[in-house]
């Protein structure tokens, strides 16, 4: 995602920064499901770059919290693909390392969007008994952090169970989150304030089967609105 000036950059422990003027990639350069033809503006982050960046995040997590038993708390539904890939990378690194991470994966589901609008109230749905997090090292894996409100509610909820440590890994961070002062411990890409779909991020349950992260267009929003 270089090219076009300083469209993407990284460093200082931050994610890859995608600037507001980054034009993205033409859809014609990639394959994607035919049933979404006409519903997307452009590819923001191709699948291959997501995979490579996730592998690096796994390495960073291993360096920070290796030699620990970790409970990975995957935020459904959007986080499942990133979580599965991240856990697989950590397992591979752990196998080939003197440090060994023992991981258990659990799930929590949040609902905070209606169509493309964030709702004030967040619901924690279908949660198991989170008391098993007491005294544990918890890694929350999320697909995207926007204002940070949702994550703060979840963190406050989990902290009631007195885990030993909580870290947050998010594939994406929207720049809208800075005013609230919340930033995950690990994140893949800092993106402009766009509504994105693909790689399990959805719009009303559509686009989860799209491998790339793309920007949805107005036709797509109207077509799948509920």
Calculate what percentage of the chain has a pLDDT beyond 70.
84
- Of residues 190 and 99, the one with the higher pLDDT is 190
DSSP, residue by residue, 144-176: EESSSHHHHHHHHHHHTT--SEEEEEEEEEEGG
Sheet holding 117-125, edge to edge: 8-11, 14-18, 186-191, 165-174, 137-145, 69-76, 102-114, 117-125
Q: How confident is the model at residue 165 (pLDDT cuts 50, 70, 90)?
A: very high
Phi, psi of 95 (to 5 degrees): -60, -35
Tens digit of each residue's pLDDT (9 = 90 or more) over 87-134 = 999 998 888 877 777 889 988 887 655 555 554 455 565 555 678 889
154 located within any domain: yes
Q: How many domains does the chain have?
A: 1
Tens digit of each residue's pLDDT (9 = 90 or more) over 25-72 = 999 999 999 999 999 999 999 999 999 999 999 999 988 887 778 999
23 located within any domain: no
Residues of the domain holding 94 = 48-191
7 located within any domain: no
186 located within any domain: yes
Helix (H, G, I), strand (E, B) or coil at 84: helix
Lowest mean pLDDT among 73-77, 102-106, 129-133, 185-189: 129-133
40 located within any domain: no
* Partners of residue 76 on adjacent β-strands: 109
20 located within any domain: no
User: What does the mean pLDDT of the chain come to?
Assistant: 85
Q: Mean of the pLDDT values across residues 134-138?
A: 91
52 located within any domain: yes
The domain that contains 112 carries what CATH number?
Answer: 3.40.50.2020
103 located within any domain: yes
């Amino acid at each position: 995602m270089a090219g076009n000036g300083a469209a993407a950059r990284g460093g200082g422990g931050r994610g890859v920064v995608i600037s507001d003027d980054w034009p993205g990639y033409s859809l014609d350069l990639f394959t994607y499901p035919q049933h979404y033809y006409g519903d997307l503006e452009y590819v923001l982050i191709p699948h291959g770059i997501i995979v490579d960046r996730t592998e690096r995040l796994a390495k960073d997590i291993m360096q920070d919290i290796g030699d620990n038993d970790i409970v990975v708390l995957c935020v459904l539904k959007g986080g499942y693909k990133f979580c599965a890939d991240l856990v697989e990378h950590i397992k591979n690194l752990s196998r080939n390392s003197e440090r060994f991470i023992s991981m258990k994966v659990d799930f929590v589901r949040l609902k905070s969007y209606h169509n493309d609008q964030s709702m004030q109230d967040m619901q924690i749905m279908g949660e198991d008994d989170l008391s098993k997090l007491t005294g544990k090292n918890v890694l929350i894996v999320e697909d995207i952090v926007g204002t940070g409100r949702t994550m703060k509610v979840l963190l406050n909820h989990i902290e009631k169970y007195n885990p030993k440590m909580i870290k947050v890994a998010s594939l994406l961070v929207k720049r809208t989150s800075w005013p609230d002062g919340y930033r995950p411990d690990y994140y893949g890409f800092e993106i402009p304030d766009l509504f994105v779909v693909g790689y399990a991020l959805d719009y009303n349950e559509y686009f989860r089967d799209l491998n790339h992260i793309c920007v949805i267009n107005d036709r797509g929003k109207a077509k799948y609105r509920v």
